[in-house]
Amino acid sequence: MRVGIAGTGAMAVRHIDAWKRLGADLTVYSRSPERGAAFAAEHGIAAAPDPEALLADADVLDVCTPTDTHADWIRRSAAAGRHVICEKPLARTYEEGRAALDACQAAGVRLFAAHVLRFFPAYVAAHEHVRSGRIGRVRRMRLTRTGEYPAWGDWFADPARSGGVIVDLGIHDLDYARWVAGEVVRVEASTGSGPDRGLPLTGTVHLHHENGAETEVVARWEVPGTEFHTTMEVEGDEGSLHLDSLPTPVLTDGSGRRLFEDDFSVEPYTAQLAEFSEALTKGTPPRVTAEDGLAALAIALDAERSASGQRSAQGR
């Protein structure tokens, strides 16, 4: 498969490493020709001089650029008749995301939303335990995600471009909560910042699901050097699940019995791109659809509006 990578940031590196494991033929594009050439040389892949050349040499476009450029890249790819994989969030606004998805459908190309949390083995195991009925009906969930502030890209500091801590970081768990507990009908959120250059910056989101379940998502950008850490608690009417990523991702039940421990034999980004590739070549359904990506974006934007005291545009 010929894959065009748009972007040369941290996510592009992750995707390139995964594509290499899958044997893809890779070309990268950067707005800076110098940066693009240096990045391509560093990773042993080709560099395209412009977006048109990138799309001409690709079967699939993999969008790893800042959030506010996602929709434009998706539309470019659709116009060129190329399938698209887009890093989360699908777009910066719901209207842009909807238009981009519609453009792909009109052009007859596939659009995949890269919500990689659905591919992390411990989270997959938790989802499977819920679906099997092990803990009965889900009543409450709590998911936390803490990492150092992404100072490697200045666009993160501009909420108009990144959406801030909820849209950029919290959206992982918002998507996962919907996957596990079902559709969301109401969203309430708040944000808070600390004294040190605004850090830590925390977003707290409360989700009310259609089936009566409730979820709390806490996303936190911390000071540089903070170790990345996630947790999850799922309470059902017949049991509970608990997950902590440190020191090793382990899923336990309410009694503390280990149900799953990650041995790192599955690399999530590789698993994600392999599933997308199979969906293209074999027509198999991926676990994350473009509509899932749009739904996660809508929830995150509702949370962003709620945190700023604005009324939800999606009626949640």
Q: Where are the domains of the chain?
A: 2-114, 117-307
Place of tokens 């049991």: 239
Instruction: Give the CATH number of domain 2-114; options: 1.10.10.10, 3.40.50.300, 3.10.290.10, 3.40.50.720.
Output: 3.40.50.720
* CATH 3.30.360.10 is right for the domain spanning 117-307: yes
Q: Is the dihedral of CA 93, 66, 100, 111 positive or negative?
A: negative
Whole-angstrom CA distances from 157 to 83, 89, 232, 267, 276 are 30, 16, 27, 29, 31
255-260 long-range contacts (CB < 8 A, ≥24 apart) are 259/125, 259/129, 260/121, 260/122, 260/125, 260/126
How much of the chain is in helix, strand and coil states, percent to nearest 5?
A: 40, 30, 30
301 neighbors 94 (Cβ within 8 angstroms): yes
Separation between Cα atoms, residue 72 and residue 6, nearest integer Å: 11
The pTM score is 0.96
pLDDT of residue 71: 98
Tokens representing 74 are 């998706």
pLDDT of residue 239: 98
- List, for residues 262-271, the tens digit of each pLDDT value: 999 999 999 9
pLDDT of residue 311: 59
Task: Identify the bridge partners of residue 146 per DSSP, sorted by sequence position.
Answer: 220, 229
Separation between Cα atoms, residue 13 and residue 9, nearest integer Å: 7
Query: Using alpha carbons only, how large is the chain's radius of gyration in Å?
Result: 19
Q: Is the dihedral of CA 111, 112, 114, 118 positive or negative?
A: positive
Separation between Cα atoms, residue 132 and residue 113, nearest integer Å: 26
Non-local CB neighbours of 41 within 8 Å, separated by 6+ positions: none
Q: How many residues does the chain have?
A: 316
5 neighbors 12 (Cβ within 8 angstroms): yes
Print pLDDT tens along the chain (316 aa).
999 999 999 999 999 999 999 999 999 999 999 999 999 999 999 999 999 999 999 999 999 999 999 999 999 999 999 999 999 999 999 999 999 999 999 999 999 999 999 999 999 999 999 999 999 999 999 999 999 999 888 898 899 999 999 999 999 999 999 999 999 999 999 999 987 768 889 999 999 999 999 999 999 999 999 999 999 999 999 999 999 999 999 999 999 999 999 999 999 999 999 999 999 999 999 999 999 999 999 999 999 999 998 755 444 4
Task: Identify the bridge partners of residue 47 per DSSP, sorted by sequence position.
Answer: 28
